[in-house]
Amino acid sequence: MDIKKELWGTTSCGKEIYRYTLTNSNGASVQLSSVGAGIVSIRVPDREGNLADVVLGYPDPMSYFADGPCAGKVPGRYANRIALGKFTLDGKEYTLPVNNGPNHLHGGPQGFQNKVWESRIDGDAVEFLYDAEDGEMGYPGALKAVARYEWSEENDLRLTLTARCDAPTIVNLTNHAYFNLNGEGSGDILSHILQLNASEYLPTDDTLIPQGESVPVAGTPMDFVTPKAIGRDIKEDFPALKYGKGYDNCWVIDGAEPGQIQTAALLYSPESGRTLEVLTTQRGVQVYTGNWLAGCPVGKCGRSYNDYEGVAIECQNFPDAPNKPDYPSPVLRPGETYEQAIIFAFGVRE
């Protein structure tokens, strides 16, 4: 594995931003950035063997700060939404900044995705470290988070997310990369075929906060148990699709058990032949079809992306779990280690 490190830019406060390129012996590569421990690029072959970049992103490192799409980055301390920016832990209520309608999203405006992480090459891996202070964005306890990326000869990108704290807190980490298996800037992903290993999903209110228990997808546009085109039902008159202008929901992964790797999703482009299998130890998978990409910074293709030009497959705990005692607990206590894995496994189909 060839790994190159380069200085990619410097913030106005003088913080250096590094970019890492991991290239396997087949020439397939991944680029990572210390802004939000983000995935900047993934170049993998199509069925003809032609390499293309299948991840949405920006040529200017400064565009990654406070971008609406949160492109490619690791949001935190709590990915996804917390209702009304409030939760109670051990009898004490905490208030977080509201930055998505009435709710708190992705750790707030100064979440992990908008920070420059420390970084290093560690053998055949690249590691990013972020130290969050006690009280940062309203969260209790200091938290040390690590994102470790490994790229294989088989075009598998493995992300291991770990965290430790010095006081009880909540944590939910994921990666927010947007994929277009025809290549970024090539048009929308509505003809991509998606299959989810999930027979239930979490219905939400109109602010995308889950209302409670999961319900079966059978007989609804949320059913991806059998593979189908993302765009087939996206315009249906169905609450979830109207609330988010497309898919932006959390599905419950079938057979998920703590610490066990399980397939969450399979994505396939009939046009390019590229496939992506997403595997994880997480309990849920948020699928977001890029419904609000328009107006984002200029992309690597030389223009801003339009809505539906990428799909994010975010393996994570359930949204608003801090306020839902029946959901898997997001609480991390001193002496414990939060550890989750996500694998993006790329391939081709004839």
Q: What positions carry a catalytic annotation?
A: 176, 314
What is the three-state SS of 115-168?
A: CECEEEEECCEEEEEEEECCCHHHCCCCEEEEEEEEECCCCEEEEEEEEEECCC
135 contacts: CB under 8 Å, gap ≥ 6: none
Determine the Cα–Cα distance for residues 131 and 148; give it in Å rounded to an integer.
15
| Whether the Cβ atoms of residue 83 and residue 131 lie closer than 8 Å to each other | no
Q: Can you list the positions of beta strands (E) in 152-283?
A: 156-165, 169-170, 178-179, 193-196, 200-201, 215-216, 228-229, 248-252, 262-268, 274-280
The CA-to-CA distance between both ends of the chain, in Å, stands at 27
Mapped onto helix, strand or coil, the DSSP state of residue 84 is: helix
